Amino acid sequence: MDRGTSFLRVIGHRIIAIATIVTFSMSDSIWAQSEPPGVLQDNVLMRADSVTYDEDFGIITASGHVEISHGENILLADTISYNRRDDIVIATGNVALLSAEDDVVFSNYMELTGDLKSGTIRGIQILFSDGSRAAGVSGRMTGDGRLKIRKAVYSPCELCPENHEKEPLWQIKSFRVIHDKSLKRIFYKDAFLEVFGVPVAYVPFFSHPDPSVVRKTGFLTPSMGRNSVFGLTYEQPFFFNIAPNRDATFAPIITSKDGVMLTGEYREVRKHGEYKLNGSITPADRERVDPQGIKETRGHLFGVGEFTVNPRWLAGFNVNRATDATYLGRYGIGRDGYLAGYSFGRVDSHLTSQAYLMGSKARNFSDLRILSFQSLDSSVDRDTVPYVAPFGRYLFRSEPSVRGDYWSVDADIRVIGRSVGAESRRVSVKGGWRLPFTSTAGEVYDLTLSLRSDLYHVADVADPVNIGATQNGFTGRLVPETQVKWRYPFGRKFASGAQIVEPIVQFIWGPNGGNSSKIPNEDSVAFEFDDINLFSANRFPGLDRYEGGARLNYGIRTELRGETSGRSEVFFGQSYRAREDDTFEVGTGLDQHFSDFVGRTIITPTNYLNLSHRFRLDRKNFAIRRSSVGALVGPGWLHGSLAYTKLSDGSTIGVPTSLEQVNLGINYEPRKHWRLNVSHQRDLTEGGGGLFSSVGLVYQDECVLITTSLNRYFNASNAGVPPLTDFFIRVTLRNLG
C-alpha cells in the first residue's frame, strides 16, 4: 500500500491535470458520429496518452496514465475501457480510486459503474485520510455508500519501512468488513484483535467510527488499576455526541471493595462562550458517621465557564464543591474532577467557587466577583469559613506625557462575611503619579507619589486587649507615600559574551503605623520576605496590612551572558527600616532595623544544565532562614530534576514553622516512543520520611498509547486516607475510542 503516497500527490495536482483534459461530450474525434449514452456524457473529464473508440461495440479504450474525473471521484489506471451500452468501466493496472473523503482505494482490477460509485474490486487495499490502512481479498461498492470487504485486515499502525511483510503492532482481522460512508462507521463480523501478529481477543461483532469522524457516540478507552484502599478498579467511559457543540461523558468506576462510583462530564460551546461541568456520586460512610450508621450519598461538582457579553465585557464562573471535607482526598479526585493517576490524599486545602464579570476599555480595567470557599480540613468549623460578596477592582492608567510620566487610579471594594467570626467591608482608593527617567549617563530613575485611602466597617473583630470582647464600627486610614528608585547598570562586552553589574537602591517613605487592631487581617496572612518582594512598596500581599515608615532597600545584581548560549545571574540585597515596630512578626526577617539578607543565584551554562538557588540568610550570622534549590540536568531524552526547600524560622502566621523537603524526578526516553518517569518526595525533618513515590511507563506511537503508573502514598492522613499503594494501566488504540 505504499503506492498510495505517489497517488495522493494526484489530489494536489489534479487542477493541473484537468487543464489538459479531453472533454468527452465535446470531442468529435473520439465520439465519431454518435454520442455515447450514460453518465459519462455529464461532468466527466478524462486525460490519457491515447484514446480509441470502437463504434461497433460501443467501447471506449484509454491507455497510458489514464485519469477520469466524475464529480468528486477520480479514477487512475494504466488502462481503462468503458462500455457505453452497459455503462461499465473496467480499470486495470495500478488502479487508484480517490473519493471525496480523500480515501484512496488501490487494486489491479476494478469493474465500476459509469458514475464510479459502485462495482467490484479484486485484491483491494485502502489508504484512509488519516493514514490508517485496510486490505482484503475482494471488495464490492454499492451506490448507497457502502464498501463491503471480504477477509479483511485493518490497522492504523505504520508498516516497518525495512519489511512491509512484518505484522504491525496491532491490527483487526475479520471475515467480513463493511465501511458505511453514510454512517461514517466501519463494521466487523467475526473480528480478531492481533498484537504483533498474535490473536489476543475475539468478538463476533464490532464497529468503530471511520477516520473521517472527529466525535462519535460510543465507548472510550477503559482504565484498570488496583490500590490498597479500593482493591481492583475498572473505569469504562462512554461518550455521547449530543450535537456538534455539545457532548457528555459517563464514566462509572467499579471497585472491588467500595462499590461503584458514578462520574460524568458535560461540555457545551455556545455562540458567545463555553462551559464544562463534571461531577461524581457514590454511597459511602462519612467520617462523621450518622449515629445510626446510615450510609449517605457523597460526591462533588466542578464547573467552569466563560462568556462574551460584548466586545468589552466577559462573564464567567467556577464551581468547586464537595459533599464533605475528605471526599476528594479519599477518592483521589484531582482539580480536573477525575481520578487522574489516582492522586489519593493529594488535594488542596480548600475549594473556591466564584462568579465574575470583567471588562476593559482603552486604559481602564474592571473586575467584579462573588466568591465562596469550602475547607477541606475536617477539623475546621464550616461556619467560620468566609464568603466574599462582592470583591471588585478598578484600574486606570493615563496616557504617558512627552516626559513619560503618567497618572494611575486603583480602586478596591470587598465585603467578607461568615456565619461565625469577624466580618468586614472595605473600600480602598489609591491615586498616584509615576515618572520613569533615564539620564544621559545611563542611570535609571523611577519616582512615584501616591495617596491611598482605606475605609472599613467591621463587626465581631476580636479585641486583643480585652480578651473575649469584640470590636465593631467604622475605621480607616490615609496613607501618602513617596518612592524613589535608582539603578545603574554597568555593562562590558568581551569575546565570548557580555557582563552586567547593576547596583539598585530604593527609598520609600510613608507614615508609621496604620495597622489598627480593629482591621481584621483577611488577605495579608501568607507573608514571606524574599528576593522577589525586596523592592515592593508594600511587601504584604493584599491590602489589609500596610508597611509604613521610612525604609531603604538596596542590592546588587550581576549577570553574565554567553555570545551564543549560557546565562548566569547573582543577586544579593537587604532592607533597612528606620523604626522598629510590630508591623512584622518575629521570624519574618523584617522585625528589626536591618532585615535578613535575601538573594538568588541562577546558573545556566548550557541547555543541559539549569541551577537555581533562592535564599534568606540571618542578618547577624548568615544562618539559613529560607532556602530553595532547583536543578534540571541533562538533554531532552534523559534529564533529572531536584527541588529542595528548607524553612527554619519560628512560627509565623500563614507559614509553616519548620519544613525541609526534597523532590526528585527522572525522565528517560530510552528509545523512540518510550518514556519512563520516576519521582520521589521526602520529608527531611526529624521524624519525617517518604511522602510520595511514583514510577510511570508510557509507550506512544501513531496507533497506540499505553500508560502505566505505580504510586506509593506514604502519608495521606490529612485527607482521611491511610498510606496506600495503587497501580493503574490504560491502553488506547487509535480510532477505537
Q: What are the DSSP calls for 563-590, one per residue? A: SSS-EEEEEEEEEEESS--SSS-TTSS-
Angle at 53 between CA 49 and CA 56, to 5 degrees: 165
pLDDT band at 715 (very low <50, low <70, confident <90, very high): low
- Residue written as cell 535575601? 598
In a domain, 442, yes or no: no
Among residues of the chain, what percentage have pLDDT more than 90? 49
**Cβ neighbours of residue 162 closer than 8 Å, sequence gap 6 or more:** none
CATH at 22: 2.60.450.10
CA atoms of 338 and 276, how far apart (whole Å) = 13
Start-to-end CA span in the chain (Å): 25
Q: Where is pLDDT greater, at 219 or 412? A: 412
Among residues of the chain, what percentage have pLDDT more than 70? 88
Give the count of domains, the chain: 1
**Of the ranges 96-100, 256-260, 445-449, 552-556, which one carries the lowest mean pLDDT score?**
256-260
Using one digit for the tens of pLDDT, what is the confidence trace for 264-276?
999 999 999 999 9
Provide mean pLDDT across the span 197-204: 89
In a domain, 209, yes or no: yes
Please give the helix or strand (H or E) that residue 28 lies within, else none.
Answer: helix 28-31
Q: Is 233 exposed, middle or buried (0-12, 13-18, 19+ CB in 10 A)?
A: buried
Q: Is 725 exposed, middle or buried (0-12, 13-18, 19+ CB in 10 A)?
A: middle
Highest mean pLDDT among 198-212, 594-608, 639-653: 594-608
Distances (CA, A) of 51 to 29, 74, 115, 572: 10, 18, 19, 86
Q: Where is pLDDT greater, at 617 or 468? A: 617
The amino acid sitting at 105 is V
Q: Where is pLDDT greater, at 164 or 202? A: 202
* Nearest CA among 491, 489, 499 for reference residue 561: 499
Q: What range defines the domain where residue 16 resides?
A: 3-216
pTM higher than 0.75 for the full model?
yes
Provide mean pLDDT across the span 612-641: 93
Q: Where is pLDDT greater, at 576 or 25? A: 576
pLDDT band at 737 (very low <50, low <70, confident <90, very high): low
Distances (CA, A) of 646 to 150, 557, 666, 689: 68, 24, 22, 15
C-alpha R_g of the chain: 36
| Alpha-carbon 662 to chain mean position | 26
Provide mean pLDDT across the span 186-198: 90
Residue 96 pLDDT > 90 = yes
* Nearest CA among 727, 731, 729, 710 for reference residue 230: 727
Residue 550 pLDDT > 90 = yes
pLDDT band at 115 (very low <50, low <70, confident <90, very high): confident
- Residue written as cell 453514510? 182
In a domain, 135, yes or no: yes
Residue 20 pLDDT > 50 = no
Which pLDDT does position 720 carry in this prediction?
A: 53
Could you tell me the sign of the dihedral formed by the alpha carbons of 50, 56, 58, 59, in that order? Answer: negative
Which pLDDT does position 652 carry in this prediction?
A: 55
pLDDT band at 372 (very low <50, low <70, confident <90, very high): very high
Which pLDDT does position 32 carry in this prediction?
A: 32
Residue 277 pLDDT > 90 = yes
* Nearest CA among 646, 641, 639, 582 for reference residue 611: 641
Which pLDDT does position 230 carry in this prediction?
A: 79
Torsion of CA 523, 527, 529, 530, to 10 degrees: -80
**Cβ neighbours of residue 214 closer than 8 Å, sequence gap 6 or more:** none
Calculate the average pLDDT of the chain: 84
Q: Where is pLDDT greater, at 154 or 344? A: 154
Q: Where is pLDDT greater, at 325 or 136? A: 136
Residue 670 pLDDT > 50 = yes
In a domain, 97, yes or no: yes
pLDDT band at 18 (very low <50, low <70, confident <90, very high): very low
* Nearest CA among 394, 385, 431 for reference residue 414: 394
Q: Where is pLDDT greater, at 117 or 14? A: 117
Please give the helix or strand (H or E) that residue 661 lies within, else none.
Answer: strand 659-668
In a domain, 622, yes or no: no
* C-alpha cell recorded at residue 77: 489506471
- Residue written as cell 465535446? 26
Please give the helix or strand (H or E) that residue 69 lies within, else none.
Answer: strand 59-70
* C-alpha cell recorded at residue 443: 542611570
- Pairing label, strands 88-98, 59-70: unpaired
Which pLDDT does position 714 carry in this prediction?
A: 80
Q: Where is pLDDT greater, at 22 or 394? A: 394
Which pLDDT does position 668 carry in this prediction?
A: 95
**Of the ranges 18-22, 65-69, 502-506, which one carries the lowest mean pLDDT score?**
18-22
In a domain, 605, yes or no: no
Which pLDDT does position 14 carry in this prediction?
A: 38
The amino acid sitting at 642 is L
Which pLDDT does position 641 carry in this prediction?
A: 95
